[in-house]
């Protein structure tokens, strides 16, 4: 096990924010059409470089040179499904870290089947709400469209199960965010409900996660940093916002302005090493949770 939790997660996240802005990772986004602009702007604000390359014939070539890749299944048109398969295959072969956001899977058959197909290629991070994580693990029917019908804690064992099976970090979004690799778990209590009232508030976090994972020493530390920085920015933006209309531009400003000191000062984080749920999930699959392939 690495020493990723041997220091305070808030401290390591603050350090990674500086590193991200120094390195400016190039993040390829195959994402849904509703949130494409907000996602690109969120990456630019945090200090990364977005590339919305989702065309068959280009997706694989770009995935090989990108720093990180996001695959978001929000509007999975035939062209996007083919591009996602192409990009994920290339990322798997070239070692480009990639993030799977299984938006609204469970009740909707096309995206559900695609999510189960893509996850076999072992994303660095699986990021979704509790209902999506339960559905991907095969123990839930999904939520109400893109909205979760389950609590974060209800998805904790499913998240550990997915981490054990695929060697991925699993990030579950909710009022308290949960990030686990099956052995170690971090819970983050930052954020603001206004983030859920802006289209793309969750989806853009998948892209920001890909950016942080691209420059982190390991996917777990990167996923924790992405969620913490993102939710701290949401708190800053919500202060004084009149509603979702004023929150959205304030949030982009907050992403651009948030600094390491503010991340450390505002962080409300708890961590557990040797998570029991992760151990039991690993035993169920006969693997070591979080182990490399």
pLDDT in tens, 201-251: 999 999 999 999 999 999 999 999 999 999 999 999 999 999 999 999 999
Report the C-alpha gap between 83 and 81 in whole angstroms.
5
Give residue 26's pLDDT: 98
Report the C-alpha gap between 137 and 157 in whole angstroms.
9
Give residue 284's pLDDT: 42
Torsion of CA 89, 117, 164, 171, to 10 degrees: 80
Q: Which of 174, 207, 176 is nearest to 47 (CA)?
A: 207
pLDDT in tens, 113-171: 999 999 999 999 999 999 999 999 998 655 444 444 567 888 999 999 999 999 999 99
Torsion of CA 42, 21, 231, 103, to 10 degrees: 50
Give residue 4's pLDDT: 52
Q: Which SS3 state, helix, strand or coil, does residue 94 take?
A: helix
Compute CA distances 211 → 45, 82, 227, whole Å: 12, 23, 11
pLDDT in tens, 23-54: 999 999 999 999 999 999 999 999 999 999 99
- Check if the beta carbon of residue 83 is closer than 8 Å to that of residue 124: no
- Check if the beta carbon of residue 293 is closer than 8 Å to that of residue 168: no
Give residue 160's pLDDT: 96
pTM: 0.91
Cα 279 versus chain centre, distance: 22
Give residue 271's pLDDT: 92
Q: Which SS3 state, helix, strand or coil, does residue 22 take?
A: helix
pLDDT in tens, 180-205: 999 999 999 999 999 999 999 999 99
Which residues on neighbouring strands pair with residue 177, listed in sequence order?
Answer: 188
Alpha helices in the chain (DSSP H): 9-23, 36-46, 59-65, 78-94, 109-119, 130-136, 156-166, 203-215, 219-238, 244-257, 260-266, 276-285
Give residue 55's pLDDT: 97
Report the C-alpha gap between 108 and 293 in whole angstroms.
30
Report the C-alpha gap between 61 and 55 in whole angstroms.
11
Token pair of 207 as six digits: 């892209």
Mean pLDDT of 249-268: 98
Give residue 263's pLDDT: 98
Give residue 140's pLDDT: 62
Report the C-alpha gap between 167 and 293 in whole angstroms.
7
């Amino acid at each position: 096990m690495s020493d990723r939790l041997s220091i305070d997660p808030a401290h390591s996240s603050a350090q990674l924010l500086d590193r991200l802005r120094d390195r400016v990772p190039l993040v390829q986004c195959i994402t849904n059409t509703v949130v494409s602009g907000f996602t690109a702007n969120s990456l630019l604000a945090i200090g990364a470089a977005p590339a919305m390359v989702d065309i068959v014939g280009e997706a694989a070539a770009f995935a090989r040179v990108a720093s990180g890749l996001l695959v978001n299944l929000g509007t999975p048109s035939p062209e996007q499904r083919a591009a996602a398969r192409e990009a994920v295959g290339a990322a798997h072969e070239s070692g480009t870290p990639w993030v799977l956001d299984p938006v609204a899977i469970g009740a909707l058959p096309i995206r559900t089947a695609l999510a189960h197909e893509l996850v076999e290629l072992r994303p660095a991070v699986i990021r979704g709400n509790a209902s999506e994580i339960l559905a991907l693990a095969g123990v839930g029917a999904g939520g109400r469209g893109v909205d979760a019908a389950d609590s974060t804690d209800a998805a904790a064992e499913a998240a550990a199960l997915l981490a054990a099976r695929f060697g991925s970090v699993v990030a579950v979004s909710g009022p308290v965010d949960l990030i686990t690799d099956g052995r170690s778990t971090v819970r983050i209590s930052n954020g603001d409900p206004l983030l859920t009232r802006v289209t793309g508030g969750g989806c853009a976090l998948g892209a920001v996660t890909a950016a942080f994972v691209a420059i982190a020493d390991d996917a777990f530390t990167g996923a924790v940093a992405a969620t913490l920085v993102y939710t701290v920015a949401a708190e800053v933006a919500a202060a004084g916002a009149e509603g979702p209309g004023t929150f959205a531009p304030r949030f982009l400003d907050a992403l651009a302005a948030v600094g390491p000191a503010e991340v450390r000062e505002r962080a409300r984080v708890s961590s557990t090493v040797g998570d029991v749920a992760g151990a039991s999930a690993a035993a169920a699959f006969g693997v070591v949770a979080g182990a490399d392939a």
